[in-house]
Copies of this chain bind each other. A is one copy, B any other.
Amino acid sequence: MTEAKIISALNEENFSHFSKTYVPSRLLLGPGPSNAHPEVLSALSLNPIGHLDEAYISLMSDVQQLLRYTWQCNNRLTLPMSGTGSAAMEASIANFIEEGEKILIAKKGYFGDRLVDMATRYKADVSVMEKPWGESFSYEEIKYEIETKKPAIFAIVHAETSSGVLQPLNGIGEVCRKNNCLFLVDAVTSLGALELLIDEWKIDLAYSCSQKGLSCPPGLSPFTMNKRAEDKLSSRKTKVPNWYLDLSLLNKYWGSDRVYHHTAPVNMNFAIREGLRLIANGGLDNVWYRHNTNAKKLWKGLESLGMELHVSEDYRLPTLTTVKIPPAVDGDGFRNHLLRKFGIEIGNGLGELSGKVWRIGLMGFNSSEENVDRLLNLFDTELKKYSIFESSTF
């Protein structure tokens, strides 16, 4: 290859001189991502090392131990998957469903729908139990459906980011064991933020994400599975129809063999180790307490401004609050105003709640009294500017 040949062949159509990469500074109080902790960002920007380097192998062990503490479990197979939360959600389906197997999905928001979509692609026999977006299931309802449908897997979202509902999980693990069913929990918006006891609650399989309770950027999805799930996996008759998310291959890399599977996103693993370490050093109980306290302060503040919360206090989600957009207010206008003028992101409603609620997240590093005060102050002073009646009341 000569230099001249290269130059003559180049297509410059998509060439331009871009400036150095820059993004504006935001306070992310929406459904996620949330802001990363400064120490996490500092770990993230360490120079990469090899994914088979002994220093990396040792870091992997730290991450696994810290994840076990944060999940409150002793599961051997506990690891961060190399993709955002939906990757581990898909792994939970792909590895444990064989064609025609029954899965029962408790659907009460957007992420229940996603589980249904995934399970269908893996050719499960899907049953759905459903609640309006903003309600939770009772223990009795779930027990009845499991006993009646006899699924191989029962899947439910612990913290529904689309509706702002915290689903009580007490007792369900016991029902699943009695009915020879795996208990699968989506903990995307609860891990590292809300009470979650994988072993005590007899949860067989769970997944989460890095960008909420763990104060990291998005890019990894923590996953854990117990012996019951391992047994189901090893009794598969067919190969897992997904290579990247195949847990038997991932187990060889994250287990004691450390056999190369895919090149790990090493820097994201530096970051998650730091995010998990900050949680452990602060104490998981203190982290849970902080999230509860700040959420209650937000709820009280919003109500005292005359706003109405979408979800009943009994099962309201501390990490993500859905607050009704007052009828006389331009919801998108106010959101954009907060973002452009104050650099604060809050979320629009998803799916059927779009335009009806805003979604306010207080997660990980961002769950602080200071952030609650800052936001309440802006609701107090700025919201009236977005009344569509051009009056100051709503």
Contact = CB atoms under 8 A, between A and B. Distances in A.
Main DSSP-derived SS at the A contact region: loop
Give me the 6 closest cross-chain CB pairs, A-B, nearest first: A45-B45, A219-B265, A217-B267, A14-B69, A21-B43, A14-B68
Nearest to A87: B244
A117 interface: yes
Residue from A39, A44, A59, A199 whose CB has the most chain B CB atoms within 10 Å: A44
Contacts of A243: 86, 90, 114, 117-118, 121
Contacts of A271: 21
A11 B69 CA distance: 7
A119 to B, nearest CB: 10
A241 B244 contact: no
Residue in A22, A195, A265, A289 with the greatest tally of chain B CB atoms within 10 Å: A265
A242 interface: yes
A381 interface: no
Nearest to A7: B285
B82 A83 contact: yes
A41 interface: yes
A391 interface: no
14 contacts: A3-B285, A9-B200, A11-B199, A14-B68, A16-B65, A16-B280, A18-B62, A20-B43, A21-B39, A21-B277, A24-B55, A50-B345, A217-B266, A219-B265
A298 interface: no
B244 A90 contact: yes
A217 B9 CA distance: 29
A66 B6 contact: no
A51 B33 contact: yes
Contacts of A18: 62, 66, 273, 277, 280-281
A66 B16 CA distance: 8
A314 to B, nearest CB: 12
A285 B65 contact: no
B9 A59 contact: no
Max count, chain B CB within 10 A of own CB: residue among A22, A244, A281? A244
A48 B74 contact: no
